[in-house]
Structure 1
Amino acid sequence: MSGTTRALPLAGAVEVRRTVAAYLRPHRGLSAAMVATAVLAALAGLVAPWAIGGLVDGVLAGTTPAEIVVRTAVVAVAGLLSAVLTAVSAALVAKLGQRVLARMREDTVSAALHLPSAVIERSGRGDLLSRVGDDVAVISQVVAALLAPWITALLTVALTMGGLFALDPWLMVAGMLALPVYGFSLRWYLPRAARRYSAERAAFADRAESLVSALEGLPTLRAYGAEAEHVGLVERSSDRARGLSRSVVWFSTRWGKWMNIAELVGLSAIVVAGFVLVDVGAATVGAVTAAALYFHRLFNPLSLLVASFDQVQSAFASLQRIVGVLGIPRERPAGTHDGAPAALVADGVTYRYPGSAEPVLHEVSLRIEPGETIALVGASGAGKSTLATLLAGLVAPDEGTVTFGGGPVAGTGAVLLVPQEAHVFSGPLIEDLRLARQDATEAEVRHALDVVGADWIEELPEGVHTAVGELGHPLGPDRVAQVALARALLADPAVVLLDEATAEASSREAGRLEDAAAAVLRDRAGLVVAHRLRQAAIADRVLVMDDGRVVESGAHDELLAAGGHYARLWEAWSTPRPEAKLALEG
């Protein structure tokens, strides 16, 4: 399917805060311990400047060597205590952050796997892949490297300003002259940076989409000699992402000079105010020294906050994208139907590909009764696979309804679609089949494989426990199709839709796969998108599609006698002319 894409939603700042708070709520004890140790570490860090200020006053007043030793020891002990508490706090922050991140990562992947198919169809897979991949990685990096230093830095700034006030309110006021510079620069920087980081993350999503599309469509690109065009598309999306990343770096670098200006303004104001206060006897040299050290103590945490702000902004943009995925309503879990016989009904279904104004299906109506097998035939491009996708509830029609037993079909588990291009996941074969039913016993798995004629199981090194897929024992297209049919049998749905599920079979294996498909359809309703018309000949009813419409309906013999579309298709298929069959089988 083609057409313009629509990006997945972004969460607002309020929604992000609520989501993070919800993830922190189950860890209240750990959060309280982390905050307490961080506060104690910051308070311990305030002792040294205060003690040094007292030492200066003591030296000027002619203090004894013993008092100097005592104050020096206080500085050393306070520094050691601050270091130990900072390490403990960092460990607690890392523990809390990794727990929250692990839960968020699991929920994000779960939400992605349960997204409605129509949402993925509109947004493109690149957007989703970048969110569960790149965005999670960005947040992981920030949690691992910056979360603890950021919390420590924020507490240090807040408590140091409090220490300045306790030391001398006028000196604190002098230091606060730096705040307008900080405020002006932040007010200018934050909104502009947020837009840049959001654009950067979106560009990464576009780059991922272009890469995925090119790799998945590689056979088609090679067939039409269009490799160079798509290489150019990937290059352009990569250039755009690189350009945005470069502009973000230069933007934050240019902003950094304002932090140095703010530090100069604040420290200069404290020194000047200190001279005045000492001159009039309102403050001591030691107090001014301590105030200068307090303000100087802000340089490192503020520099950290500034230097890493671009990473935190990027992480927040990633959080907005991840929380946006978490907030999308999920499909109902499969397996909720009660198993009672019911009809699958499509009533006046019209469907357009995203971004296209022309319908690919035009007011299609059909009804599949319990136990009935319908064959859906037509030339390539007639809309057969699209209709099967709608009947399975994977995509919602633009007009009309698809119901099972009178209710919506989506998410009930009553209707199962077996696609032409089945997938085998890497891992033990038995676990692959248990995707259909997690509690299936080994005997049930073996029975399902036996029903679909997969006698090759005994040839595998470890039988059903053999690792298959890309990292294990390779399976040919015929065997992959049998695995897909065995999964459908284990799932035991009320209706099975076979979208050319036997099309990948070789001529030698075609008969076996068609027998396997018939076994899966036995005693249940089914629709077969017929790749080979011999499947239509044994169906209870045949529907013929042409240009997105059902143009004929009836039994095989009736339609042959009518001499219409089906009769012509049958003649083309049964005539031993390869080009005629190619046009039909697409």
Structure 2
Amino acid sequence: MKQSLPVAGSREVRAYALQIARNHPRMLWLALGLHALAALAGLAAPRLIGQLVEAVEKGTTVATVDRTIALLAGFLLVQAILTRYARFISQSLGEEVLAELREDFVENTLALPVGVVESAGSGDLLTRTSRDVDQLGWSVRWALPEWTIAVITAILTFVAALSVGWWVALPCLLGVPPLVIGLRWYLARAKEGYLRENASYSQISETLTESTEGARTIEALGIGHERVAALDADCAGSYAAERYTLRLRTVFFPSMELSYLLPTVATLLFGGWLYTQGSVSLGEVTAATLYVQMLIDPVDRIVSILDELQVGGASLARLLGVAQVPDDRVATGAQPLGEKLDARDVHFSYVEGRDVLHGIDLSVGVGERIAMVGPSGAGKSTLGRLLAGIHPPRAGSVTVGGVGLTELPLDDLRGHVALVTQEHHVFAGTVRENIALAAAHVATDEEVWASLAAVDADSWVRAFPEGLQEKVGSGGRALSAAQAQQVALARLVLADPHTLVLDEATSLIDPRAARHLERSLAAVLHGRTVIAIAHRLFSAHDADRVAVVEDGTISEFGSHDELVAAGGSYAALWESWNGGNDRHGAPSD
């Protein structure tokens, strides 16, 4: 069952924003100071123009006009220079903040429990990693600096308008009711609307990803129309979400236009009336009207960019929500006494109330090789994941050296137990980088070549023109599924954990090559504990003991010879598999 990742609340978003501000006090105050000075320089124009109007009314000289024009040009030049550096500092600050946000998000994402990632699905996380990060980047780089400039400009302009006379406040107050009512109405609905909109994008990504990855299965089962219908439903949900936010904007912005126009018209009319009464001069009416007119642009930007900030805030809430996923392990600080792996009365369920493992007991001796076999869906891979510490058991315990696997920090755990499955990822980079990333130290070329040789991969790597420096992955040489699997196994050899859980780790490799590879690995991993989950029974034949998993329990446990002699499920499975291999010419051993 798919579960969405959590979304941070408003309090967490505000706390994170304040923390970011505290991390960059110098750049923040420098940017605010420069913006304030730039706004002050721009406020000189209405006052100068008002004085010029008064001078013209009383009779003036060309020299006075020229001097006023020169002053206007000087203030505009100063404003342009200050604005340039203010924007530069603001955008530099934005880049630093965005870098921190991305680093925090990546760190929180990598710390997610694997089970949570699987239950959430790839669409939600992919949308947060791409669309939400991009949207937040736009908000941090552009929207937030512009909004800050607009707020500073609006405050200083209003103060400048009041400096003309107290009466300017009265017409300005006329625009407050529609502004406040419109903002309260919009803000009460916008965040929920944009969160719903972003969630709809996650669902579309999820459906597209599943349909693309499972295209062959969909075609084979003839259920393409059902997948199209599912995508149509997702698009309909996204359309409804976007239509809702669009409706908010179509109501909100027109109401804001009214709040802009009323003060300007009222200032001109009220100031004109005061002028006829002899209470104010023509220059004061001119300056006041110009100041109020100047308020329109910053207030309009405050309101318009507020919409962008709502989108950015929703994206930030989704990114911060990743950090709110509860950890599935609590490090106690206890140190394992040895490497003995034990599972006691283990129960586990992916969905509450439906266990897939039922009271499993398994004790694996140090250096022992255990093979787990059984029908598909019996619980082999699930048990393997619990033995590797990927999931905590619902009930019972899985310990190494007497310490629960989920009581160990991940770095410590991977030094004791590591899991390799048939699902592998080749990172964009060189062959050497792909393998060396598993080492706890800086690996030498000799160590990397040795790990490749241990998994029979050194020959095809040496055939590359650049050898270990050959670029692979996205943008580089594409590796086959079998080669990618060998790269993953080479990482495992270099990581050098004591206990290995191999979940069909050679399933993508040709059976004959896989047989040789497993023998090579066995030689390299001699003395280490190995738990191999496989459908190729030569792994079971070579193992010290075999665990037969059926319906979430271990139905048989013993050596290959003991289980064949017992004539149970394993004996039937061995006879069927061995005979089938003989008929097809594969090694039967």
* Residues 340, 348 of structure 1: alpha-carbon distance in 2 compared, 3 angstrom cutoff: closer
> Using the alignment, how far apart are the partners of 1:332 and 1:49 within structure 2?
64
Select which of 361, 364, 371 maps to 1:365.
361
* Residues 201, 579 of structure 1: alpha-carbon distance in 2 compared, 3 angstrom cutoff: farther
2:92 aligned counterpart, secondary structure:
helix
Aligned to 2:565: 561
Select which of 11, 14, 21 maps to 2:8.
11
Q: Tell me the TM-score normalized by structure 2.
A: 0.92
Aligned to 1:584: none
Q: Which amino acid aligns with 2:471?
A: A
Deviation at 1:295, TM superposition (A): 0.9
Q: Which amino acid aligns with 2:550?
A: D
> Using the alignment, how far apart are the partners of 1:478 and 1:205 within structure 2?
32
* Residues 476, 148 of structure 1: alpha-carbon distance in 2 compared, 3 angstrom cutoff: closer
> Using the alignment, how far apart are the partners of 1:345 and 1:251 within structure 2?
59
1:71 aligned counterpart, secondary structure:
helix
**Residue deviations 1:135-165 (CA, integer Å, cap 9, x gap):** 0101112233323321111111111111122
Deviation at 1:520, TM superposition (A): 4.8
Query: Is 2:228 the partner of 1:231?
Result: yes
Aligned to 1:420: 422
Select which of 475, 478, 484 maps to 2:482.
478
Aligned to 2:294: 297
Deviation at 1:329, TM superposition (A): 5.6
> Using the alignment, how far apart are the partners of 1:462 and 1:332 within structure 2?
42
Deviation at 1:314, TM superposition (A): 0.7
**Residue deviations 1:174-226 (CA, integer Å, cap 9, x gap):** 21221111001111111111111111011111111111222222232223222
> Using the alignment, how far apart are the partners of 1:300 and 1:432 within structure 2?
53
1:360 aligned counterpart, secondary structure:
strand
Range with bigger deviation, 513-522 or 307-316: 513-522
Whether the 8 Å CA contact 2:52–2:68 is kept in 1: the answer is: yes
Select which of 477, 496, 499 maps to 1:495.
499
Deviation at 1:579, TM superposition (A): 12
Q: Which amino acid aligns with 2:470?
A: T
Task: Give 1:18-97 correspondences, 5 Å limit.
Answer: 18-97=15-94
Deviation at 1:339, TM superposition (A): 8.7
Deviation at 1:388, TM superposition (A): 0.9
1:63 aligned counterpart, secondary structure:
coil
Give the CA RMSD over aligned residues.
Answer: 2.4
Select which of 254, 266, 278 maps to 1:269.
266
Aligned to 1:181: 178
Q: Which amino acid aligns with 1:416?
A: A
1:425 aligned counterpart, secondary structure:
coil
Range with bigger deviation, 109-118 or 286-295: 109-118
* Residues 520, 484 of structure 1: alpha-carbon distance in 2 compared, 3 angstrom cutoff: farther
Aligned to 2:96: 99
> Using the alignment, how far apart are the partners of 1:579 and 1:26 within structure 2?
70
Deviation at 1:573, TM superposition (A): 1.4
Query: Is 2:508 the partner of 1:504?
Result: yes
Task: Give 1:321-340 correspondences, 5 Å limit.
Answer: 321-328=318-325
Q: Which amino acid aligns with 1:425?
A: F
Select which of 443, 446, 449 maps to 2:449.
446
Deviation at 1:359, TM superposition (A): 1.7
> Using the alignment, how far apart are the partners of 1:391 and 1:56 within structure 2?
86
Query: Is 2:462 the partner of 1:465?
Result: no
Stretches of structure 2 that go unaligned for 5 or more consecutive residues are none
Deviation at 1:298, TM superposition (A): 1.3
Task: Give 1:147-158 correspondences, 5 Å limit.
Answer: 147-158=144-155
Select which of 341, 344, 361 maps to 1:344.
341
Deviation at 1:33, TM superposition (A): 1.2
> Using the alignment, how far apart are the partners of 1:562 and 1:332 within structure 2?
40
Whether the 8 Å CA contact 1:341–1:494 is kept in 2: the answer is: no
> Using the alignment, how far apart are the partners of 2:583 and 2:160 within structure 1?
87
Deviation at 1:551, TM superposition (A): 1.0
* Residues 375, 580 of structure 1: alpha-carbon distance in 2 compared, 3 angstrom cutoff: farther
> Using the alignment, how far apart are the partners of 2:330 and 2:499 within structure 1?
17
Deviation at 1:513, TM superposition (A): 2.1
Deviation at 1:370, TM superposition (A): 1.4
* Residues 463, 264 of structure 1: alpha-carbon distance in 2 compared, 3 angstrom cutoff: closer
Aligned to 1:519: 523
> Using the alignment, how far apart are the partners of 1:226 and 1:517 within structure 2?
42
**Residue deviations 1:411-452 (CA, integer Å, cap 9, x gap):** 221211010233322321111101211511111011111122
1:346 aligned counterpart, secondary structure:
strand
2:392 aligned counterpart, secondary structure:
coil
Q: Which amino acid aligns with 2:106?
A: V
Query: Is 2:532 the partner of 1:535?
Result: no
Whether the 8 Å CA contact 1:382–1:545 is kept in 2: the answer is: yes
Aligned to 2:399: 403
Q: Which amino acid aligns with 2:418?
A: L
Q: Which amino acid aligns with 2:423?
A: E
Task: Give 1:214-229 correspondences, 5 Å limit.
Answer: 214-229=211-226
* Residues 457, 260 of structure 1: alpha-carbon distance in 2 compared, 3 angstrom cutoff: closer
* Residues 224, 578 of structure 1: alpha-carbon distance in 2 compared, 3 angstrom cutoff: farther
Q: Which amino acid aligns with 1:60?
A: E
Whether the 8 Å CA contact 1:49–1:294 is kept in 2: the answer is: yes
Deviation at 1:348, TM superposition (A): 2.1
> Using the alignment, how far apart are the partners of 1:259 and 1:534 within structure 2?
75
Q: Identity, % of aligned pairs?
A: 39
Q: Which amino acid aligns with 1:422?
A: H
* Residues 518, 225 of structure 1: alpha-carbon distance in 2 compared, 3 angstrom cutoff: farther
Q: Which amino acid aligns with 1:244?
A: A
